[in-house]
Structure 1
Amino acid sequence: MSNSLAVATVTAAVQELLTDAIEAAVHGATVWTDRSDVPRQTAGVNIYLYRTSDDAARRNDDLPTRELNGAIRNRPRLATRLHYLLTFHGKDDELVPQRLLGATLARLHSRPLITRALIDQVVAEATDPTPRNEFLAATDLAAADELVRLSPDPMDLDELTKLWSVFFQTAYQLSATYVASPVLLEETKDVALPAPPVLSEQLTVRGLLRPTIIGVRNSAGAGAPVIADSELVVEGSGLRGEQTAVRVGGAELAPTAVSATQLTVALGSAAGLHAGLLPVVVAHRWLVGDPAEPRAGETSNVAGIVLAPRITASFGGDQLAVTSDLIIGARQSVSIRLLAPTTGRVVRTVDVPDRPGDSATVSVTLKDLASGQYAVVLQVDGADSPLTPATGLPITAPVVTI
């Protein structure tokens, strides 16, 4: 195996492999490792690692990493392929790029392996008194089980166009593509810890039965509004699990009674509920182990309720303040209607302006409104606050005097 320096070592080894061949082909030519869109005025070859991919033939070599007793067999390792773009630079009127291309193809065909001697040469340069790539002194690629091979990675015109399109506003350079594989990587420290032994085996089998909600209503009656202290009746099928919970908005509640087709849950114990439309979900938990511990099970489809706010209202100056027993979200749509108590006729509707945060109180400015008594209705995302009486006239609460 080899440590994380293997990728950089392969690049440096390719640079070392090509240097003398390039210098022999064109006097003064060099080999460098920049991005292919970095402009160069000198003759030479650029080596650019532009992507990696999994080595499919070696992908599962490290499985399993443990023995049957939990002991570590070997550290996890990754087999990868390095894809290189080689570009050739120099004076076109002297055919320098083409001469460099020919020398490169011939060298990589005759010497396609990153040999241990070549890696030792890279390490020697890294430890030289005037080091080159000093960080590669710690590489151990030479100890890898298999030598890295360099192979041509031919591309058609469409693939080559896509590759060069990643270099913004860069003119095409004469180039060749190669792949180096396999490069086997592993961490030098023990990342795999011994697994604890299995002390006892427990097998639990149960059928999968997803709860289904058909409807949700107020236990006080199908037409009664749902308010903060209402009791909900959830009807459906498969509602009872080993442990059953009801999620209303962001609150999770324990039902007071559960059967396969119906359950009841009181909203009064839920804190932080918002007025308006809220989702309702029945969630099951399985009891697993000894002692039994709850684990997440199936959840139902999503039903909905419209939770109505109960309000009090006050008027002072030209400001009407309405306080709800539920939280009103900063992004919720809110309006206030003023009604004639004796007839129920809507006198005025006022949209509540945007608010900086969640709150229980909203206020609006009222101008040019005749003096008298007005019933107040707060609407939050389509949920209207209830009036007293619920049916019939005159309306007695909530009422403000202007």
Structure 2
Amino acid sequence: MSNALAIAAVTRTLRNLLFDAASDLGGAEVSAKPPDRARATATGNQINLFLYHTSIDAALRNDDPPGTRPGEPAFPPLPLILHYLITAYGDGDDDVMAHNLLGRAMVALHDHPVLGPREIKIALAGNDLWEQVERIRITPEALSIDDMYRLWTAFQTQYRISAAYQARVVLIESRRQARTPLPVLTRGPADAGVTVVPFVIPPVPTLTAAQPQHRQPAARLGDELTLSGVHLSGASAIRFLPGRFDDPLDTLPGALLSVTDLEIRFVVPDGPDQLAAGMYTVAAVFPPPAGAAPGTPEHLSNEVPLAIAPLVTAGLPANLGRNPDGSVIVDLSCSPRVRTGQRVVLLFGDRPVQPDGFAPPTAVLRFVVPAAEPGRYLLRLRVDGIDSEFIDRTVRPPVFDPSQSVVVT
């Protein structure tokens, strides 16, 4: 890498190359001035080299400095791309001579695309760019006519035929101090390193799914439920983690029907106020191991999602007569009770119907369905996004459950 003299070192090296290219034309001057000041005092043959822009090399911006050792991070160097504009002027503003000079300059850079360490070293005293691992490469830069004219407009001077080049990449070393930590002597107790378990199956109790009976998408109060997983032997209860309304709830010991290493079968608590319809997560509860110190807490498996669906307990099936205005009234009872803040809607066929006002918690709901045409309609009670069961999944293929319908006459 190099110090802050790197940019000046590149400019001086390029000036030397251009001076050599025009040396047989009677000592043409090679300047490094802004184009609007290049001909302020000069009148003879002249080549002007102007650094008009610098940019960052994105590929090297976040790389460690060359030669960095593993484990000894250092701040990345500043990787610069230098953009130069070369303009030629003939003696007495002779454009033919200017074209001659520009051609010689372009041939010189074409034949010399990489700056050598020695020529960089002698170009500017005190620079150390010549020690950089990355070589400085000179390549033509294609500027559109529009870009070139905009560039000369910014110079606020008359346009002269020019050629653009870029020099890349110049790595300027950061002044921030690198860190050189001491090496690691051991990797854990007895230098054993990281413990690796070469199995896909996790070594701790893990649940993978909660499956209601008959492949239903949601469980109802009192339903049998199967939890699948691994290392489940020894579970003492199933914990329902807090939903919108409830504190954590553990199943009673008698609710566990069977416990094996791969699955747990249990009955969903069916107390009237234990669970509300909605989404929950469940986990298996394991008591402290035998011989554990007093006060050792129980531990839980991971959690899996479980939906609790409302159950229509009364009001279906039914034959409903229409009112004089064409509406019908649907009265339903449900379990569990609907609580304050729960979103309730009756899906009457394909129509959502909001309930009449009610005072929660309640198990009795009334829905007024406007403009109900005669016919049979399948009903679903949706509480907090979970639908009551309306499909008979005990047969194959499944069918709609006729007990969850009404006939409008």
Shorter-normalised TM-score: what interval?
0.3 to 0.5
Return the TM-score normalized by structure 1. Answer: 0.41
Find the structure with the greater CA-based Rg.
Answer: 2
Please report the TM-score for the alignment, with normalisation by the length of structure 2. Answer: 0.40
